[in-house]
Amino acid sequence: MNEIDLESAFTGDAMLDTNTYLEALMWAHGLSIDSADAVKIVKKKRNKCIYSDISARKESIIENHGCKCDICGFDYKPLLQIHHILPIKMFGDNRDRNIACLCPNCHKIMHKTYELTKKDSTMGFAKLLSWINKNYGEKAYERYCDMLDTFFELHFELREEFAEEDKNVYSD
Element (H, E) at 143: helix 138-171
Domain boundaries, the chain: 6-171
Q: Reduced to 3 DSSP states, what percent helix, strand and coil does the chain have, rounded to the nearest 5?
A: 70, 5, 25
User: For residue 4, what is the DSSP state?
Assistant: -
Chain-wide mean pLDDT for the chain?
A: 76
For the entire predicted model, the pTM comes to 0.67
User: For residue 93, what is the DSSP state?
Assistant: -
How far apart are the C-alpha atoms of 123 and 94, rounded to whole Å?
32
Is residue 109 within 8 Å of 87, Cβ to Cβ?
A: no
Element (H, E) at 86: none
pLDDT over 90 (residue 143): yes
Burial of residue 19, with CB atoms counted within 10 A of its CB: 0-12 exposed, 13-18 middle, 19 or more buried: middle
pLDDT-wise least confident of 4-13, 31-40, 63-72: 4-13
pLDDT over 70 (residue 14): no
Length of the chain: 172
Q: 92 falls in which pLDDT band (50, 70, 90)?
A: confident
User: For residue 33, what is the DSSP state?
Assistant: T
How far apart are the C-alpha atoms of 62 and 100, rounded to whole Å?
9
pLDDT over 60 (residue 160): yes
pLDDT over 70 (residue 81): yes
Looking at residue 44, its pLDDT comes to 67
User: Averaged over 114-131, what is the pLDDT?
Assistant: 79
**How many C-beta neighbours within 10 Å does residue 84 have?**
21
